[in-house]
Amino acid sequence: MILQALHALAVREHLLEDPDYEYKPVSWRVVLSAKGELRGILSNCYEEQAAGKKKPRILPKKELIPMQPNRSGTKAPPYFMVDNAKYVFGMPVADKALSEEDGAEKSGWFLDLVRKCHGATSDPAAGAIVAFLEQLGSGASPVVLPEGCKSNDQFAFIVEPDVDTYVHDRPAVRAFWRAHRILPGKTDDREVNCLVTGKPMSGAPLFKFVKGVPGGTPSGVALVSFDGRAFESYGWSKNQNAPISQAASEACSIALNRLLDNRYPDPRQPGQSLPGRNLRLSSDTVVCFWTARESGDELCSLFGHLLTANADEVKALYHSIWRGKQPQIDDPSAFYALTLTGTQGRAIVRGWLESTVSEVAQNLAQHFADLDIVRNTHPGKDRSLPPSFSLAALAEALSPGGDREQVPAPLITELATAAIRGTPYPLSALQRALERSRAEVGRTEWLDSNRKDARAAIIKAVLNRRRRFSPDTCHYPEVKKDMDPNANSPGYSLGRLMAVLERLQSLAINDANATVVDRFFSGASATPKAVFVRLLKNARHHARKAMDGEHGGMAFLLDRVIDELTGPFQPKTNGFPAHLDLEQQGLFVLGYHQMRKWLWMSGEERAAWESENPNAPKQYLWSKKA
């Protein structure tokens, strides 16, 4: 189904207007006279516009060139009319050594293919290239490569009087290449149908390489390949185990290259690029997404921006998704998402999703609703809080020091998959969030605070989905965005208590060297019985000291909240739980996070909260109207 969906995309977006040609980057134009004299080697690059803090890059333009087959090894054949300096000129470049014998051999292969074209077509431009290359090979007309030329830079030819028409685009040359590419069928005793098109085929050519898969080799990786007997079956040899015709293989490869390339040329609008259809999850993993019909293109165009929390690019309708509201999108057309990781020579399929546009939009809305939580981070002078947490922010929250590359790619893949499918988040995300919460609890920098918010959002999302999908095994209420004074799960109550004890200490001791949270958070969140009796004894001292000072009123209110929270645990007999399981530890972190926000509310925020929680215990009703 993956290959069929890719093939359909290639057809729908007109990527197969000429099945013998494909878009590839061309770095240099070799301009010749009609007699084959070198006029110059001109750059075919442009400066990419800088985005944000990124510096502008010099990139080659993508041109429609003859289809380039897979090439590997020292005896790899040349490409037709467009190739690198090693094959075109037989010359080494600064970043790649080349022996004189090897250069002569490869440039000879390239020249032989051009000679065949000239012999079959008598095209004068092809003849000019032959004359130029023969003079170059004899040493009569040496070439100096342009400064900055790299080993993978490709050269294409233009022959005067043509100015913008490449030789490989001339009608006679195109006709030659089309005939030259027709491969003789390989005989086989068994009849074979193409897995993609269902049409009869002979032989089983290698799947065309796909470039741009992170973690893969620069020459590209194969989505379908068999390189050992262990992967073969029923007497089939190599790719006969998954027979795909050459045309279908190239169509799928072109479609996947288009999805992986955010600047892929639009065949219907010269000079324009097709919209991006991928999102990098980690250094070696990417998810590509597309729809079966044009009606779903708007969601696809905004899909990546939603998951990267790019507010400037998302339209009004999709802002409701960020707010967790179900969008008014009724589109039954198919939506696909393919997650890939590159390795030596092949692509690993991490995930495959088939859904509908409307269902994906609803699942994304639920994803952001599950992540919605009060924030303790305040916008800085030069910082603004995004509308929700991006996948990158979630990865940073789960990694030491915010280095998201340390988060395993499968975990980020599972998070993205759960967001799109609407399925439970991986439990490993909860485990990592708890580990990082304990390790970074005392940090107060802006980025640390933002990661704490993201961790709390992850914990809330994981717990709520576990409860939603397994209500019989999860014995805790749905976690709300704000502090819930009526939720009495042990972990949640103790997390709130920890926040109150921290606030009370700050009233009694200004700028303490180490707060109760710095010293006891880890133990309190896992083994509360061993920690809280001692903390409550210290809290009584803090309360008396604070009540004698300027914050006496606040200390009195906090003391009442402490009594309300500790009542069910009977602290005089140390009735606190000896241990908290993983879910209750998560609730502990959420209780602490939400209570900390509640304790620092402004008067306006508190009045709004009390109006939304009229049934809260009286200990939480602090406004003058209470």
Residue 534 makes CB contacts below 8 A (sequence gap 6+) with: none
Q: Find all residues with CB under 8 Å of 447, minimum gap 6, and list them.
A: 402
What global pTM score does this model have?
A: 0.85
Q: Is the pLDDT of residue 167 over 80?
A: yes
pLDDT at 87: 94
Residue 311, pLDDT > 80, answer: no
pLDDT at residue 204 is higher than 80 = no
Q: Which residue has the higher pLDDT, 71 or 66?
A: 66
pLDDT at position 188 over 70? no
List the one residue out of 45, 18, 291 whose CA is nearest residue 149.
45
pLDDT bin (cut points 50, 70, 90) of residue 223 is confident
* CA–CA distance, 232 with 422 (Å, rounded to integer): 36
Contact 334, 356 (CB under 8 A): yes
Angular region, 402: left φ>0, alpha ψ -120 to 50, beta rest = left
Q: What secondary structure does DSSP assign to 391-459, as a single string?
A: HHHHHHHTSGGG-GGGS-HHHHHHHHHHHHHTPPPPHHHHHHHHHHHHHTTT--SHHHHHHHHHHHHHH
Q: Is the model's pLDDT at 511 over the cut of 60?
A: yes
Q: Looking at 75-79, 90-94, 97-101, 241-245, which range is the least confident one?
A: 241-245
Residue whose C-alpha is closest to residue 375's, from 603, 605, 585: 605
Percent over 90 (pLDDT), the chain: 58
Q: Give the pLDDT of residue 436.
A: 95
Range from 53-57, 149-153, 157-161, 203-207 that averages highest in pLDDT: 157-161
Most confident of 62-76, 109-123, 314-328, 435-449: 109-123
Higher per-residue confidence, 622 vs 326 = 622
- The mean pLDDT value for 109-138 works out to 95
- Residues with Cβ within 8 Å of 425's Cβ and at least 6 positions away in sequence, in order, are 414, 415, 418, 458, 461, 462, 465
Q: What is the pLDDT of residues 333-364, one digit of tens each?
A: 999 999 999 887 788 898 999 999 999 999 99
What is the pLDDT, as a whole number, of residue 572? 85
pLDDT exceeds 80 at position 245:
yes
Residue 185 reports pLDDT greater than 60: no
Distance from C-alpha of 432 to C-alpha of 287, rounded to nearest angstrom: 23
Return the higher-pLDDT residue of 587 and 76. 587
The mean of the pLDDT values for the chain is: 88
pLDDT at 373: 95
Instruction: Tell whether omega for the bond before 161 is within 30 degrees of 0, i.e. cis.
Output: yes
The CA-atom distances, in angstroms, between 258 and each of 53, 213, 499 are 26, 11, 51
Predicted local confidence at residue 39, as pLDDT: 94
What is the Cα–Cα distance from 318 to 470, expressed in whole angstroms? 30
Q: What is the pLDDT of residue 50?
A: 66
- 186 vs 488: which has the higher pLDDT: 488
**pLDDT digits 0-9 by tens, 429-472:** 999 999 999 999 888 888 889 999 999 999 999 999 999 999 98
Which helix (DSSP H) or strand (DSSP E) does residue 304 occupy? helix 297-307
Across 170-186, average pLDDT? 81
Conformational region of residue 279, where left means phi above 0, alpha means psi within -120 to 50, and beta covers everything else: beta
pLDDT tens-digit readout, 86-102: 999 998 887 777 788 88
Neighbour-count burial for 119-135, b at 16+ CB within 10 Å, e otherwise = eebebebbbbbbbbbeb
Could you give the 3-state DSSP secondary structure of residue 371? helix
Give me the pLDDT at residue 282, please. Answer: 87
Residue 595 has pLDDT above 70, yes or no: yes
**What mean pLDDT is predicted for residues 545-552?**
85
Closest CA to 564 of 500, 619, 508, 488: 619
Sheet of 45-47, strand order: 21-26, 58-66, 45-47
